Structure 1
């Protein structure tokens, strides 16, 4: 899969959802942003820093989380609960200190 000229922006504490037909690169994009897939070229900026090529662990530590679609992992949890689980990193939830 090849992605070209993708640009997403979310405000502070923002959430981004991707919708579209199967096979159009949504999962590939999210895997690249979250460090599960290494891009061959280009930049992925998060909080002003290029995170392309960083490990998934480092990206989570920087405060960016990826909550995959589906409920197979925790079928009894709500969407909000799954999002909260993704924010276990203190950097992913700085608004709690405010």
Structure 2
């Protein structure tokens, strides 16, 4: 799992997290596990209802999960999951 610099502090300072045994996982279950280890990071990614925040984009092997099955999107062995947080300014 790849994180942008802005989210790395919430993941213990790392931008890359490995998840062993991804067979049968979904994006949602991956985020659940991430939340157990890094609760602050999960709150930056999902709201209190568990929905991915609208300014967060998640990609599995380069495909936006909004065009797939959202949090039910499968994550296979060797899949690359990238989480990007939009930054707006004015």
Say which one has the larger Rg: 1
TM-score, normalisation: structure 2: 0.33
Structure with the larger strand share: 2
- Greater RCO (Cα-Cα under 8 Å, separation 6 or more): 2
